[in-house]
Amino acid sequence: MSLLEIQNLRARYGRVEVLHGVDLNVEEGSIVALLGANGAGKSTLLRAICRAVDTSGSCRFDGVDLSGRSTAAIAHLGIGHVPEGRGTFADFTVEENLRLGAVSRTRARSRRETDADLELVYETFPVLREFRRRQAGALSGGQAQMLAVARALLGRPRLLLVDEPSLGLAPLTARDLFDRFTGLRDEWALTVLLAEQNAKLSLTIADRAVLLSRGRVVHDGPSGDLATVDAVHADYLGASEFDLSHADARTKETR
């Protein structure tokens, strides 16, 4: 049984359906990259899993049906969501933001356990310890993204949904952040579903890649497959986001 099992998932904003029957399984302990161009439906899929958008279809987490559950209840089941734009509180300090993350933890923990998790987070992201009394709004883009991920970790999720973590980050900062995900997966016993436009970066850490286009899954397989897959995927992703030099060459030959 997969940790997350999605079947025929549909999502809409008002009358407009933007996910048209998505099927997706996420195995426990894996990092899955959810790729696609602007507007493909990546953020909506993460919101649909959390029931933060009008949704139909089947979504099971560790065998538990998520339909009819509130977003807060889903967080308590062990699904952490790091939304695009980060969702931290700019006027609160770094440590206040982190402690707020513990509110959604999967089971009640003592203050001592929260303090131990906080210590673990500070070991993973030393810069957050350094700036723990600084307002979150004063952090740099990379530091703010680390805070958003760290805050979700305080909820002790089993599944972490991360939306576009590279957005607005300098290439080296994004690389540094992505390099941490593998360690996080192992140290925090996490499963990660990572929605990203930056396919190249995502594929360096993902076990599997799922490609969305206009609300539909158009590819699902080991991440290594996408390095050699048909040139059409470069079109789905946008050439600048996905440097498929071989595929590009093939496309040019056939034009």
Contact letters (x/-) for ligand ATP, 160-189, by CB under 6 A?
A: ----x-------------------------
- Closer of 29 and 57 to ligand ATP (Cβ): 57
Helix (H) or strand (E) holding 19: strand 16-26
Q: Is 40 in the site for ligand ATP (CB under 6 A)?
A: yes
Closest distance of CB 41 from ligand ATP, Å: 4
Judge contact between 222 and 216, C-beta under 8 A.
no
Q: Is 89 in the site for ligand ATP (CB under 6 A)?
A: no
SS3 20: strand
What number of chain residues touch ligand ATP (CB under 6 A)?
Answer: 13
Q: What burial letters (b/e) apply to 29-45, b meaning 16+ CB within 10 Å?
A: ebbbbbbbbeebbbbbb
Q: Is 13 in the site for ligand ATP (CB under 6 A)?
A: yes
What are the residues whose beta carbons fall under 8 Å from the beta carbon of 237, sequence distance 6 or more? 35, 36, 37, 197, 199, 211
Q: Which stretch binds ligand ATP (CB under 6 A): 24-32, 42-50, 87-95, 101-109?
A: 42-50
Q: Which residue has the tokens 């034009």?
A: 255
- Closer of 54 and 96 to ligand ATP (Cβ): 54
Q: Which stretch binds ligand ATP (CB under 6 A): 21-29, 37-45, 105-113, 144-152?
A: 37-45
The span from the CA of 82 to the CA of 10, in Å, is 21
The span from the CA of 95 to the CA of 80, in Å, is 18
Judge contact between 217 and 186, C-beta under 8 A.
no
Q: Which residue has the tokens 């140290």?
A: 187
- Closer of 30 and 43 to ligand ATP (Cβ): 43
Q: Which stretch binds ligand ATP (CB under 6 A): 35-43, 143-151, 203-211, 216-224?
A: 35-43
Residue 26, token pair as written in the block? 């996420």
SS3 166: coil
Give the footprint of ligand ATP on residues 187-226 (CB under 6 A).
Answer: 197
- Closer of 13 and 89 to ligand ATP (Cβ): 13
Using CB under 6 A, list all residues that contact ligand ATP: 13, 18, 36, 38-44, 84, 164, 197
